[in-house]
Structure 1
Amino acid sequence: MPAIPKHRQPIINAAVTLFRRQGYSRTGLNDIVDVSGAPKGSLYHYFPLGKSSIAVAAVEEAGRRVATTIEALAKECRSTGDLLRAHARLLAGWMRGSGFRNGCPITTVLLELAPRERAVAEAGRKAYAARVAILSDKLVADGHPKARAEALAVLCTSAMQGALIQARVERSGRPIEVTAAELARLLEERPAGV
């Protein structure tokens, strides 16, 4: 029976936390070891390709967490607009709770690595695609045509990511909440014939 990967998930969780808070470049392997509690040798055992392979795993993990949250909200909320407003409340609360130190670990890593690290860029594409797919399905359920729903889902995802950055800069949840409210209003204002 193969050994249970005891330290792999704590390493990934530590990387998600650290990358969210301080970015990829400012996070050292020793930081990940300290936060994870894993022996340093575990880093090289589970991630033999180094720090960038930890970044891939962190982006994948963060993507799963976001998708799980949005999927749950999609089931709970009556409409995509309601989903966006509920997600904004969560995001703004998390940002306030961190003293606006935390950003999105996916975005922070991608901004630093996507141009040169293909595996990281691919993990980011998959993370965003999962989010867009959930929103698109919810928009179709709201009555939007599939092609329009896909475009609106990309808009919503991009706008919310930008709002997270702005919230961190302004040290306020307002950009997130305003963005979600305006997107919800846009989604609820259907043109004639749709």
Structure 2
Amino acid sequence: MGVKGEETRARLIAGTRALIEAQGYFGTGVNHIVAESGAPRGSLYFHFPEGKDQLVAAALTQAGQEIEDLLNALAAEGVDAGALTRRLTEIFASRLERSDYAKGCPIATVALEVAGTNEPLRAVCSAVYGSWQRVLADRLEAEGFGPLEAETAAGQALALLEGAVLLASVRRSREPLDHAQHAVLHLIGAKASRSE
């Protein structure tokens, strides 16, 4: 694929990401994606022959990978689990505030919509969340948690933050995220102090 083709594909993914996060899967049609991306309709089916679901899967995967890469980079620098969760909280809070509480977690809106109705997209969302959880669990293990304890604590931390994104959006306030972050630090700190 040439440079122009890659640029068109990238525009389609970027447009889809913006739309599905703000409007959800069901609120975003192919015509919306074409208009948002500025790409010809035929290009959508050239790059994504399976249509909307394939494009949404690519958008979710890319969004999830960006956050996973950031968390991995921080972990590689030796940043502790508390700082990792603070950074994830700030990412979500910043996205909410910049979008007037329309966008927080780039996966959550679609995940909530498709979990019971669209198995391929549910699996993509699950894989993204799983990758974030794994980064945090690995960091917790490096800090002295056992493997099962680390996996459990990382899952609890992610659940707290994701739930807080929903509450922050509904309340139009970052306060639920700040409270969730405090709870996560308590969870991690309490466990870490018991394992010493």
Q: Provide TM-score, normalisation by structure 1.
A: 0.91
Aligned-pair CA distance for 1:39: 0.9
* CA distance, structure 2, for counterparts of residue 57 and residue 167 of structure 1: 27
Contact preservation (8 Å) 2:92, 2:105: no
Secondary structure at the residue paired with 2:107? Answer: helix
1:102 aligns with 2:103: yes
2:153–2:187 Cα contact (<8 Å) kept:
no
2:162 pairs with 1:154: no
* Preserved contact between residue 85 and residue 177 of structure 1 (Cα < 8 Å): no
Counterpart for residue 165 of structure 1:
166
1:53-64 pair list within 5 angstroms? 53-64=54-65
- The alpha-carbon deviation at position 120 of structure 1 amounts to 0.8
Q: How far apart are 1:111 and its partner, in Å?
A: 1.8
Which of 107-116 and 93-102 deviates more?
Answer: 107-116
Aligned twin of 1:14? 15
Q: Is the 8 A contact 1:62 1:105 kept in 2?
A: yes
The AA in structure 2 aligned to 1:175 is: P
Residue number in structure 1 paired with 2:2: 3
**In the TM superposition, what is the alpha-carbon distance from 1:103 to its structure 2 partner?**
3.2
How do 1:135-150 and structure 2 match up within 5 A?
A: 135-150=136-151
Deviations 1:16-50 (A, max 9, x none): 11111111111121211122121111111112222
Contact 1:23/1:105 (8 A) holds in 2:
no
Instruction: Answer yes or no: is the 8 Å Cα contact 1:55–1:109 preserved in 2.
Output: no
Q: 1:84 & 1:146 partners in 2: Cα distance?
A: 18
| 2:183 alignment counterpart | 182
**Structure 1 alignment gaps of length 5 or more:** none
Cα shift at 1:77:
6.1
RMSD: 1.8
CA distance in 1, matches of 2:34, 2:14: 11
Unaligned stretches of 5+ in structure 2?
A: none
Number of positions where the alignment pairs a residue of Structure 1 with one of Structure 2: 193
Aligned pair 1:81/2:82, yes or no? yes
Counterpart contact for 2:114–2:122, Cα < 8 Å: yes
Map Cα deviations across residues 64-117 of structure 1 (whole Å, 9 max, x no partner).
Answer: 022122223334564211221232123212211111111323221122223232
The structure, 1 or 2, with the larger RCO (C-alpha pairs under 8 Å, 6+ apart) is: 1
Map 1:38-57 to 2 at 5 A: 38-57=39-58
Report the TM-score when normalising by structure 2.
0.90
User: Relative to structure 2, which stretch is displaced further, 89-98 or 138-147?
Assistant: 89-98
Higher mean displacement: 52-61 or 142-151: 52-61
Q: Report deviation, 1:193.
A: 4.8
Q: Is the 8 A contact 1:104 1:164 kept in 2?
A: yes
Change (3 A) 1:193 1:162: closer
